[in-house]
Amino acid sequence: MSNGVIITPGLAHGALRRPEPQHDVVRQAQAFRAERRSERVRALVAIAVMGLAFLTVAGQLLRLAMQGQSEQRISINAPLATAFARPDIVDRNGRLMASDIVMHSLVADPHVILDQDEIADRLVTVLPDLDRKRVRNAIADRSKRFAWIRRGLSPAEAQKVHDLGLPGLDFRPELRRAYPLGRSAGHVIGLVDIDNKGLQGIERYLDERKNVEPVHGPSLSVRPPLRLSLDVAVQFAVEDELAEAMRRYSAAAAVGLIMDVNSGEIVAAASLPGLDPIVIDDRFDKNRIDRLASGTYELGSIFKTFTAALAFEGGVDPQKRFDVRQPLEVEGYPIRDLHPAGRPLTVTEIFLLSSNVGAGLLALNDGQQRQKAFLEKLGLTTPMSTEAGNVAPASLPGRWGDIETVTVSYGHGLAVTPLQFAAASAALINGGHRVKPTFLRKRGRSQKPAERVISSETSHLIRQLMRENVASNAGTGWRAAVAGLNVGGKTGTAEIAGIGGYKSKSVIASFIGAFPMDKPRYLTLVCLFEPQGTKETGGHITAGVNAAPTTARIISRISPLLGFLPNLEHTRTPDVGDRRFDGPRFPQ
Amino acid sequence: MRILLTVAVAMTLGSAFTLYAVNYETRGLADDVKRREKSINKARRDIAILKAERAHLARPDRIGRHARALGLAPAKRGQFATYSISDPTGRRVTRRPGDER
């Protein structure tokens, strides 16, 4: 083999010139054969080992493939996310109402802190509202590697802490929600928790619509802002005037609403005392609840618009007279008027003079079934919700007999939220279409014809009544008149139910209004809670002397913001009531 | 045979160098992208803060306070005047602001 000659047994026998002894050749051949055999065996063993190894790998792969995913899985989404990136919230004109900003949170690594007391002492010098004891406790355990000290420092505060140069402290950039407008529209905006997750109001709506994304670092949302129907300027004007009214009439609380009667867009929604989305303590202050959508109240005579509308739907003529001279006796309860007219009144006069007896007669004329069905059709007694959350459901009388029919006709015995009341009233004013209140801006969307709840003739009559109530001297709402704008509305003074009956000195004074009355665009609702008699009001606490003039001040302030110019033909003159709808030609 | 071998070796070496260079360039570009992304994020954060600050400074109660301090007030009815223009037929008509809309 070594010299390249193949030696075969045949050659060895005869062809070799120098024949070697035969036994040598045979021995060589035998050794050679044995060597080849052992080589082959070794190769086979190697192949077998390698093959076995590959088979093992293949088998393992097959097993893994058949088992599917192994039980150990690492997920890097929500549970590990540290925060939520939220889109901005802007008003109808794009003015910022809420936004995410990156702020620095102060964290500590207790393991590397040298002097715990020094840290606590010196931190308190730059962050005075920090609780020293709590800081000390947070960093007490040296086996820990992480502790929050304060989340959401302002850049200036962070710089101060940084300048202390304390070891073991670090900053972690985090997304925090900022509300540049402070308390303005706080009830509507809602709130977020420490991880930027929406808990209430529009903030919660954002979460429900999956407009927020879980993020690990401080990365801002790239989603387009949520555009609300609110107008920051109108909202502020309403809040400012309500605060002024609370001061002027010593009221405990106030509610104001401006709503587009056709689209249901809420331009301003205020409930004072308001709350600041970032002040947690505000949430626990019972006095700061959202009276607009979370509190139900008996709203009193402003309900007479419904009573009148139901009568007109039933074909009652506005000039038909009802005898209101005697107190109305229903199921043993006498219903009286505050100032009895002493003569039969037409339906129009019942509305203008706000006669409880008259309203009761109108309601009895229609019957409780029709009244109940009518209120339900208007959406007053069915559950309602907006983007800012569920609206508190109406409290209905347990038994709806004759006496309840009469009390409901002038707004007692049935408690609703002011928001739901306004939504139902909008249908009476806008020509008879149901309106769903919304906090989102609607634009350009093809509006499918809304459900009709009352005839346009009835709506026209209601508008006339509301206008007359403000424009004529006979009406209770004349103080709501705004020079240059034809405002209409209805007053309501409801005694607040307390222990042992209604309290005559404690009332909710309300005014439901709309403008301009020839072609209404906006509905206004003002409720003052427990106003007191003042020198200006001559000691009275009825809505005509407080809620009505507040409405006038609000409307005169917001109408230029909403694009209305004063019309010089429109002044409040005593004879306007007889002229009836001397339609001004307003832009839009 | 030898030529083929030489060419192959040269090609191997050449492609190795090219790959190396491309790899380096890619890393450089990736770093650049990262740097730019970082500066974009920084800019976006700054913009967010500035927007919030601007909205805070432009909030109506602050503007209103300053406007009143300057002696400004909401427009009153008396500030809207009527005026006369000639209509297409040459007749003088009295109009008010808002009529033209």
Please report the sign of the dihedral spanned by the C-alpha atoms of residue A123, residue A128, residue A133, residue A135. negative
Judge whether A534 lies within some domain. Answer: yes
Same domain, A353 and A475: yes
Distance between A200 CA and the closest CA of chain B, angstroms: 21
SS3 A169: strand
pLDDT at A579: 33
The residue-averaged pLDDT of A4-15 equals 50
Q: 3-state SS of A404-423?
A: HHHHHHCCCCCEECHHHHHH
- What pLDDT score was predicted for residue B100? 45
State the smallest CA–CA distance between residue B27 and chain A in angstroms: 24
For residue A16, pLDDT over 70 is answered with: no
- Closest partner residue to B59 (CB to CB) among A101, A180, A484 is A180
Name the token pair of B99.
């009529």
- Whether A568 sits inside 8 A of B52 (CB atoms) is no
Note whether B49 contacts A587, CB cutoff 8 Å.
Answer: no
| Predicted local distance difference test score (pLDDT) of residue B81 | 67
Q: Are A577 and A475 in contact (CB under 8 A)?
A: yes
Q: Which residue of B has its CA nearest to A571?
A: B77
Task: Identify any residues that bridge with A173 across adjacent strands, giving them in sequence order.
Answer: A104
- A180, A240, A557 member nearest B56 (Cβ): A180
Residue B95 is predicted with a pLDDT of 65
Mutate to test the interface with B, among A96, A103, A104 (most CBs of B within 10 A): A96
Task: Please tell me which of the candidates B51, B59, B80 has its beta carbon nearest to residue A565.
Answer: B80
Q: Is the pLDDT of residue A326 over 60?
A: yes
Q: Minimal Cα distance from A588: which residue of B?
A: B101
Cβ–Cβ of A101/B44 closer than 8 Å? no
* Closest residue, chain A, to B59 (C-alpha): A181
Interface check B63 vs A, CB under 8 A: no
Q: What is the mean pLDDT of residues A125-132?
A: 85
Domain assignment of residue A311, yes or no = yes
- Least confident segment among A155-164, A303-312, A415-424: A155-164
Residue A558 Cα, gap to closest chain B Cα (Å)? 10
pLDDT for the residue A174: 84
Q: Does B98 contact A96 at a Cβ distance shorter than 8 Å?
A: no
The CA-atom distances, in angstroms, between A524 and each of A258, A521, A555, A588, B73 are 5, 10, 8, 18, 23
As a whole-number percent, the residues of chain A with pLDDT over 90 amount to 29
> A202, A227, A252: which is the final residue of a domain?
A227
Please provide the DSSP assignment of A418-453 as one string: HHHHHHHHHHHHTTSB----BSBPP-S--PPPPPB-
pLDDT at A576: 35
Q: How close B38 gets to chain A, by Cα (Å)?
A: 11
Which residues in chain B have Cβ-Cβ distances shorter than 8 Å to A585?
99
* Chain A positions touching chain B (beta carbons under 8 Å): 95-97, 99-102, 155, 178, 180-182, 184, 218-220, 232-233, 236-237, 240, 483-484, 557, 560, 565-568, 585-588
Tell me, what's the pLDDT at A282?
Answer: 79
Q: Which of A101, A182, A184 sits opposite B49 (nearest CB)?
A: A101
Q: Is the pLDDT of residue A322 over 70?
A: yes
> Which CATH number characterizes residue A156's domain?
3.90.1310.10
Residue A19: band (very low, low, confident or very high) from pLDDT cuts 50, 70, 90: low
- Model pLDDT for residues A54-104, shown as the tens digit of each residue: 999 999 888 888 876 555 555 444 444 567 888 999 999 889 999 988 888
- Domain annotation covers residue A17: no
Q: Which of A184, A219, A587 sits opposite B101 (nearest CB)?
A: A587
Residue A529's pLDDT band (boundaries 50, 70, 90)? very high
Closest residue of chain A to B80, computed from CA coordinates: A566
Q: Calculate how close chain B gets to A388, using CA atoms only, in Å.
A: 22
> Are residues A408 and A464 both part of a single domain?
yes
Residue A201 lies in a domain: yes
pLDDT the model gives residue A444: 61
Of A3-12, A298-307, A502-511, A577-586, the range with the lowest mean pLDDT is A577-586
Q: Is the pLDDT of residue B38 over 80?
A: yes
Chain A partners within 8 Å of B60 (Cβ): 184, 232-233, 236-237
- A343, A209: one domain: no
A585 to chain B: nearest residue by CA? B99
**Which DSSP state fits A472?**
S
Average pLDDT over residues B16-28: 93
Position B83 pLDDT exceeds 90: no
Q: In this structure, are A221 and A241 located in the same domain?
A: no
pLDDT of residue A198: 86
pLDDT confidence of residue A374: 92
Q: Which residue of B has its CA nearest to A570?
A: B77
Q: How many domains does chain A have?
A: 2
Mean local confidence (pLDDT), A102-120: 86
Is A478 domain-assigned? yes
Q: Within a domain: residue A62?
A: no
Pick the more confident residue, A50 or A153: A50
Q: Are residues A208 and A98 in the same domain?
A: yes
Q: What is the pLDDT of residue A157?
A: 85
Strands A522-529 and A89-90: unpaired
Choose the weakest-confidence range: A180-194, A486-500, A573-587, B26-40. A573-587
Over 60: is that where the pLDDT of A162 sits? yes
- Angle value at C-alpha A344, between A338 and A345, nearest 5 degrees: 70
Do residue A169 and residue A272 come from a single domain? no
Residue numbers in A near B98 (CB within 8 A): 565, 586-587
Contacts of A184 in chain B (CB under 8 A): 59-61
Position B8 scores a pLDDT of: 93
Interchain contact, A565 vs B52, CB within 8 Å: no
Which residues in chain A are closer than 8 Å to B99, comparing Cβ atoms?
585
Residue A312 pLDDT level (bands cut at 50, 70, 90): very high
User: Any CB–CB contact under 8 A between B56 and chain A?
Assistant: yes
Which domain, by its residues, includes A389?
234-579
pLDDT at B77: 62
Q: In the predicted model, what is the mean pLDDT of chain A?
A: 84
Cβ of B77 within 8 Å of Cβ of A220? The answer is no
Q: Are residues A178 and A151 in the same domain?
A: yes
Q: Examine the domain organization and report whether A398 and A296 are in the same domain.
A: yes
Q: What is the mean pLDDT of residues B56-61?
A: 90
Q: Rounded mean pLDDT of A265-281?
A: 88
pLDDT of residue A77: 44
Q: What CATH number corresponds to the domain at position A260?
A: 3.40.710.10
Residue A485 is given by DSSP the state B
- Whether chain A has a CB inside 8 Å of the CB on B77: the answer is yes
On whether both A367 and A449 belong to a single domain, the answer is yes
Q: Check if B81 contacts A (Cβ < 8 Å).
A: no
Which DSSP string corresponds to A343-397? S-EEHHHHHHHT-HHHHHHHHHHH-HHHHHHHHHHTTSSS-EEETTEEEPPPB--
Do A423 and A321 fall within a single domain?
yes
Burial class (CB in 10 A: 0-12, 13-18, 19+), A465: buried
B65 touches chain A (CB under 8 A): no
Same domain, A210 and A243: no
This model of the complex carries an ipTM of: 0.70
Would residue A93 count as lying in a domain? yes
Q: Which helix (H) or strand (E) holds A101?
A: strand A96-108
Q: Which of A203, A227, A251 is the last residue of a domain?
A: A227
Which pair of tokens denotes residue A426?
Answer: 């909008």
Q: Are residues A375 and A350 in the same domain?
A: yes
> Tokens at residue A118, please?
């020094």
Give per-residue burial for A386-401: e unless 16+ CB within 10 Å, then b: bbbbebbebebbeebe
Banded pLDDT at A269 (limits 50, 70, 90): very high
Question: What is the spatial distance between Cα A232 and Cα A181, in angstroms, rounded to a whole number?
Answer: 9
A77 within a domain of the structure (yes/no): no
Residue A178: its chain B contacts at CB < 8 A?
Answer: 52
- Tell me what the mean pLDDT of segment A459-463 comes to: 92
Does the CB of B42 have a partner CB in chain A at under 8 Å?
Answer: no
